[in-house]
Amino acid sequence: YDLELALRQAVATDGFDVHYQPVVDVRDGSARGVEALLRWDRPGVGPLSPAVFVPVLEDTGLIVDVGRSVLTRAVTHLARWRASGVVDEDFTMSVNVSPRQLFDTGFAQDLADLLRARDVPGSAVVLELTESCVLEGDDATLRVLHDLRALGVELALDDFGTGYSALSYLRDFPVTRVKVDRSFVNGIGRSPRDEEVVRAVVAVSTALGLALTAEGVETPAQRDAVLAMGVTHGQGWLWARALPPAELAAWLGAGA
Ligand code: G
Ligand code: G
Ligand code: NA
Ligand code: MN
């Protein structure tokens, strides 16, 4: 099975789907936004995890085209939900962005054009930057990130705590939000060490004025623990998995 060939065919035929996982207010589970997550159900073969194929898209550079398509679809869905009153104007759309996309010429300008075309404010979009891909704090990187902030776009550091340069990212980049990695959240209730790591991430983020989202919340006890620590936003199977667009709209409509 030639994974790279299959991916090239999927790119050519627009064979990917985008699902949406709710991001909620930890206090009451009400929806505050969604995270767009790429899905690939291979014809005749079955689904493959993005944890497996996204790195291949990144290595081959295909992520630039696929990522552009994800961003366009996500903003288009958000515009539709806003227009039909399914979501309020504060509802946010989070989209994962690889460094390769960020450094593709015109990324910020393309996003500005897309937002204008769909009549969506920059403040309704959160770009999730993954620290597993090394971002360098050089002038070019900082210029792109500041251009994005100038659009009102929020910048979130994803999988926080799993990389080796975590704290320097908080220091060097104009990020506005930290996503506490689910590997730490999952340990709450089982591992006092994981719990202390979450507490420390919350402390440093709060001191720097950054907003927080806890990923991977699966149990009421984990929800209660992150709430008590001061985390405002949550994501996880306790509330909802990533859903296809029609199911997500139904989930929102049900006021879950
Ligand atoms: O959906 P799931 O949790 O299995 O995703 C696994 C990994 O794939 C996560 O780290 C997630 O950030 C990444 N991923 C999912 N969708 C996208 C996307 O559209 N672009 C990029 N760059 N990464 C994505
Ligand atoms: O790296 P990133 O945060 O983008 O990864 C998101 C991934 O986490 C998605 O693949 C999504 O399916 C997965 N995910 C979301 N909520 C949960 C959860 O509560 N538990 C677990 N184990 N995975 C989750
Ligand atoms: Na992500
Ligand atoms: Mn994420």
Closest listed ligand to the CA of 216: 2
Ligand 1 close to Cβ of residue 248 (< 6 A) = no
The model's pTM: 0.96
Is residue 194 within a helix (H) or strand (E), and if so which, with residue range?
helix 192-207
Decide if pLDDT at 66 tops 90.
yes
Residue 5's φ and ψ, nearest 5 degrees, are -65, -45
**Residue 219: band (very low, low, confident or very high) from pLDDT cuts 50, 70, 90:** very high
pLDDT of residue 1: 82
> Tell me: the pLDDT tens digits for 122-162?
999 999 998 655 567 778 888 999 999 999 999 999 988 88
- Which of 162, 198, 194, 160 minimizes the C-alpha distance to 179? 160
What is the ipTM metric for this complex? Answer: 0.95
Ligand 1 nearest atom to the CA of residue 70, by list position: 19
- 46 has pLDDT over 60: yes
In the chain, where are the structural domains located?
A: 3-251
**Is ligand 1 within 6 A of the CB of residue 185?**
no
Compute CA 159 distance to the chain's CA centroid, rounded to the nearest angstrom. Answer: 10
Proportion of the chain above pLDDT 70, given as a percent: 96
pLDDT at residue 256 is higher than 60 = no
pLDDT-based confidence at 205, cuts 50/70/90? Answer: very high
Q: Is the CB of 67 under 6 A from ligand 1?
A: yes
Per-residue pLDDT tens for 96-117?
999 889 888 899 999 999 999 9
Average pLDDT over residues 181-205: 94
Q: Which CATH code is given to the segment(s) 3-251?
A: 3.20.20.450
Q: Report the alpha-carbon distance of residue 87 to residue 219 in Å, rounded.
A: 26
Half-sphere exposure for 2 (CA within 13 Å, toward CB):
6
Nearest atom in ligand 1 to 19's CA: 1
